[in-house]
Amino acid sequence: MTSAEIMFRQKRTTPAGIAAQIKSGDVCCCTSALGEPEAIMNALADRAIAGELTGVQHHMLLPCRKWRYLEPDMAGKITFVSWFTSANARKAVKEGRADFMPNFYYEVPRFWRELVKPDVFYAMVSPMDKHGYFSFGVGASEGRAQMCRAAKIFLEVNPRMPRVLGDNFVHISEVDALCESSNALPTLPDAPLGEKDLKIGAYVAERISDGATIQLGIGSIPNAVGKNLVDKKDLGIHSEMFTDSMVDLIECGAVTNRKKNIDIGKSVASFAVGSQRMYDFLDDNPGILFAPVSYVNDPRVISQNNDMISINACLQLDLVGQVCSESVGPTNISGTGGQLDFVRGANWSKGGHTFICTYSTAKDDTMSSIVPTLAPGAHVSTPKGDVDCIVTEYGIASLKGKTASQRAKALIEIAHPKFREELTQAAKKMNLMI
């Protein structure tokens, strides 16, 4: 028996055994998205419901399961602090039962190293290898930074978690206790593609040249862009999120990563949520490199790839190009995430471009997504000075180097026809039409 195997046996316990080591008032954290340890979190909720815990904070990005800690009866027992809000957590945030941490994604590891002191770090990981290492799997974003100041480190070992390669490992010697589980990872079905998605995807794909490096966000519009890239050559991937459309692009040969300036031959990302097919593709794949967001999302790193293309979505934008991607009025529904990280990185890249995409209308075509001014209290995700190209199903508005009046005119041209006159009159009242 190796020393790693001996340590594994010595540190192995149950989920309840780990939850018993967490105290009232502890600040707890885990890796993004699928990194939450399901069995440990359920055991922690059991203790809270039994009245054994109060004032525990649980920090994480993008919860992908319907957790009990988000329920109203957890108030005062476990408080969720959202670093990027998912659909599962929106109600708790809106009702004030959960808190929200504003951030740029690439800075999240620095927050944990310098600003927020955790008592407990826990994560779901892949099985230990013969050298004593566990992979954080599909959640490399910030785990190493969270670990460096945590007083206690707990792991939940799950054979369903793929062993994803890169700067993405923790050694058994660093761990205080571990447990085992075998729950399936949540999957995210492909969003169905509508006519608007396909039009937007085609517009963007026309602007992407062979040899470009791409970042795709989540949702139907980025998926539509991916569908339109299958005939490209020598594309590269450098993206905070790895998506199912990227599997398709790699398998069809459109992505080779040969033309990248850094991490040549590797598809680079920080986390993944998608299909079981994608998880299987990522497992032990030497063509994949997952690394913390302090590297992947750093605009200075992103910009080192020539022809860097960033593709993201938004909810609303105004006539000078201010973009809101994360709130409805003042109500947070997601987060800034890595949008601005990649907008700036692609803007600084030689030959790079950024595309922020949206349908021209919202609420069953009853309101325009392009508005004279953002809704009161709306969070500005990408400032007007950073915006390059805005895309709707009516075309692309290139805003870089344009005056305020030129921007307003270009945006009105890609607004839904039934709102163009209304927007034109509003622009005139705001002295944006000369």
281-312 residues labelled b (16+ CB within 10 A) or e (exposed):
bbbebeebbbbbbbbbbbbebbbbbbbbbbbb
For residue 209, CA distances in Å to 202, 273, 312, 371 come to: 13, 27, 18, 31
Q: How far apart are CA 168 and CA 176, in angstroms?
A: 19
Q: Rg for the chain (alpha carbons), in Å? A: 22
Which amino acid makes up residue 360? S
Q: Which of 36, 240, 326, 393 is catalytic?
A: 240
Annotation says 5 is catalytic: no
- DSSP for 240-263, written as a single string: SEE-HHHHHHHHTTSB--TT-SSS
Tokens of 116: 């927020």
What SS3 class is residue 291? coil
Residue 119, exposed/middle/buried by CB under 10 A (0-12, 13-18, 19+)? middle
- C-alpha angle 103-335-291 in degrees, rounded to nearest 5: 65
Enumerate residues 6+ apart whose C-beta is below 8 A from 187.
274, 275, 276
What amino acid positions are annotated as catalytic residues?
240
